Amino acid sequence: MKVLITGRNGQVAQALLSSLQGLGELTCLGRAELDLADSNAVRAQVRMLKPDLIINAAAYTAVDQAESEREQAFAINATAPGVLAEEAKALGVPLIHYSTDYVFDGSKNAPYLDNDPPQPLGVYGQSKLAGEQAINAVGGQHLILRTSWVYSLYGRNFLLTMQRLLQERDELRVVSDQIGAPTWAGTIAAATRELIEHWQRGQAGPWGTFHLTGQGETSWFGFASAIGDQLKAAGKPCARLLPITSSEYPTPAQRPLNSRLDCSRLQTAWNIRLPDWQAALADCLRDAD
């Protein structure tokens, strides 16, 4: 099986490269080989490679920067997924695409279901929603997997930033009124492998949109506290953490206060069991030892 993975320099693609070993021939392309902002180049690359499965792990993820780079965000997050969906359908192969909790405005008082109406607050969320809509418009075999608060030991993310700042500073203020589920890129990659294996065995569930996050919930402050606890347990310095509200930490893009995603349909329809976010964090940090 030939698998095309986009976004080589991203957290999820790196985790996929590790998790999908042995499933087939993996071709993972970064921006230098596949500029997702260039639709013609995307089409040409897919037609040349003729993969049996396409996994779009690439995205424009600079949430605040997207407010002033709308065209770039939409080119990568909206137009490119639609092009990949068209090419996948033409080849008769599945497309797996990752989306985000930012397609919701966070006003719901319970975890979001995958069929809840999206209402993004900013350009990043709008562009990701447009990507979902483009894929759905094409149809074909596809999985749109919405996730949240992705981190790993690779690249730039909340875990690595907190590990650095907690050891550099005496005191650190972290937002405590945004609730969600930290999701290890390794969790996403492992679940993706299971989905692919089910499909290969002819045991695929329904295609469509599903939620895939760590289980349980916390705030960014709670996530930072868990990271701090791991530092202390390792005998490393750790700053004193202070909870603050979102209004005390203004950003160009507004964030949803409720980023909780209900993943039960993925578990029942595809038989995917997702780990608690704290257990996944421990597994991630164990990889660093």
Residue 233 maps to a domain: no
Asked if 199 and 221 touch (Cβ cutoff 8 Å), the reply is no
**Looking at residues 100-116, what average pLDDT do you find?**
97
Per-residue pLDDT at 100? 98
Residue 161 maps to a domain: no
Cα 122 from Cα 165, distance rounded (Å):
27
| pLDDT tens column, 29-68 | 998 899 999 999 999 999 999 999 999 999 999 999 999 9
Say if residue 288's pLDDT is above 80. Answer: no
Asked if 109 and 155 touch (Cβ cutoff 8 Å), the reply is no
Residue 140 maps to a domain: yes
CB atoms within 10 A of CB 137: 10
Asked if 270 and 198 touch (Cβ cutoff 8 Å), the reply is yes
Residue 35 maps to a domain: yes
* 83 or 286, higher pLDDT: 83
Per-residue pLDDT at 122? 95
Per-residue pLDDT at 92? 97
| pLDDT tens column, 142-182 | 999 999 999 999 989 999 999 999 999 999 999 999 999 99
Sheet holding 208-211, edge to edge: 25-29, 2-6, 53-56, 95-100, 142-147, 208-211
Residue 223 maps to a domain: no
Residue 173 maps to a domain: no
Q: Which long-range contacts does 231-238 make (Cβ < 8 Å, 24+ apart)?
A: 231/163, 231/166, 231/167, 236/167, 237/166, 237/167, 238/166, 238/167
pTM: 0.95
Say if residue 289's pLDDT is above 70. Answer: no
Structure tokens of 74?
A: 């939409």
Could you tell me what percent of the chain has a pLDDT over 70?
Answer: 100
**Looking at residues 214-237, what average pLDDT do you find?**
96
Domain that holds residue 113: 2-152+183-215+260-275
Q: What band does 204 get if pLDDT is binned at 50, 70 and 90? A: confident
The enclosing domain of 86 has a CATH number of: 3.40.50.720
Cα–Cα distance list, 236 to 160, 230, 278 (Å): 15, 9, 20
Residue 168 maps to a domain: no
Listed in sequence order, the residues at least 6 apart from 89 whose beta carbon sits closer than 8 Å to its beta carbon are 138, 139, 140, 141
Domain count along the chain: 1
Mean pLDDT of all residues belonging to the chain:
96
Which residues sit opposite 244 in a β-bridge? Answer: 175
What are the residue numbers of the active site? 124
CB atoms within 10 A of CB 203: 10
Residue 127 maps to a domain: yes
Cα 185 from Cα 107, distance rounded (Å):
26
Per-residue pLDDT at 193? 98
Query: What does the DSSP assignment read for the chain?
Result: -EEEEE-TTSHHHHHHHHHTTTSSEEEEE-TTT--TT-HHHHHHHHHHH--SEEEE------TTGGGT-HHHHHIIIIIHHHHHHHHHHHHT--EEEEEEGGGS-S--SSPBPTTSPP--SSHHHHHHHHHHHHHHHH-SSEEEEEE-SEE-SSSS-HHHHHHHHHHH-SEEEEE-S-EE--EEHHHHHHHHHHHHHHHHTT-----EEEE---BS-EEHHHHHHHHHHHHHHTT---PEEEEE-GGGS--SSPPPSB--B--HHHHHHH-----BHHHHHHHHHHHH-
